[in-house]
C-alpha cells in the first residue's frame, strides 16, 4: 500500500482537524455560560430533539454511552437545567425535559454557535455550504452502512 504524502493531509484528517478547531472556538465562546463541551451538548440536543425524549435517544444523538450520559444528566439536573420524569408507558424509563433555565441556556448556546458559524462561514457562498453539507451527509450515510455491515 502506497503511503500518502504527509504534507497533504487526506480528507478524514482535514475533517478531524477542522472539527477540533471549531469545537475549541465554540468552547471559548460558550465558556462564559459556565458549561463545558460535555454539558452544553446534551442541552442543545434536547433543545432540537424536543422535550419528552428518553435517555437512550439522547445518548444516540450525542454519540455517547448511556452510563456517561447519566453522569452528565445528574450534573444538569443538580444545576436545575434538566428534569427527569417517569415514562408512563415504561416505569423503568425516564423522559427528559429542559427546565426554563435549561431552555434559556440552550438557546444562548445555539445563538453562540450560529454567531460562530456566521463568522467562520461568512465568505462562503450558499451553494458551497450546501455542497459541503451534502458531502458530509453522504459520508454519514456511508458510515452508517459500514457500521451495519460490520455488526
Angstrom distance (rounded) from CA 35 to CA 47: 15
* pLDDT tens, position by position, 102-148: 999 999 999 988 888 889 888 889 899 999 999 999 998 998 898 88
Assigned C-alpha cell, 138: 453522504
Which residues pair with residue 82 across a beta bridge? 98
72 vs 19, 38, 58, 69, 103, CA distance in Å?
A: 22, 7, 11, 5, 16
pTM of the entire predicted model: 0.74
Q: Kindly tell me if the per-residue pLDDT of 11 is higher than 90.
A: no
Give CA angle at 27 (36, 111), nearest 5°. Answer: 100
- Average pLDDT value over all residues in the chain: 87
2, three cell numbers: 502506497
Amino acid at each position: 500500500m502506497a503511503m500518502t504524502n504527509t504534507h497533504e493531509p487526506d480528507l478524514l484528517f482535514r475533517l478531524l482537524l477542522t472539527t477540533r478547531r471549531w469545537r475549541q472556538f465554540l468552547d471559548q465562546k460558550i465558556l462564559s455560560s459556565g458549561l463545558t463541551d460535555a454539558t452544553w451538548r446534551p442541552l442543545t440536543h434536547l433543545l432540537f430533539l424536543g422535550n419528552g425524549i428518553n435517555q437512550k435517544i439522547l445518548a444516540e444523538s450525542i454519540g455517547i454511552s448511556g452510563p456517561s450520559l447519566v453522569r452528565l444528566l445528574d450534573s444538569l439536573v443538580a444545576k436545575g437545567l434538566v428534569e427527569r420524569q417517569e415514562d408512563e408507558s415504561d416505569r423503568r424509563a425516564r423522559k427528559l425535559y429542559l427546565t426554563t433555565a435549561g431552555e434559556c441556556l440552550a438557546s444562548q448556546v445555539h445563538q453562540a454557535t450560529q454567531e460562530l458559524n456566521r463568522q467562520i462561514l461568512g465568505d462562503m457562498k450558499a451553494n458551497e455550504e450546501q455542497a459541503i453539507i451534502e458531502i458530509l451527509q453522504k459520508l454519514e450515510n456511508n458510515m452508517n452502512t459500514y457500521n451495519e455491515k460490520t455488526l
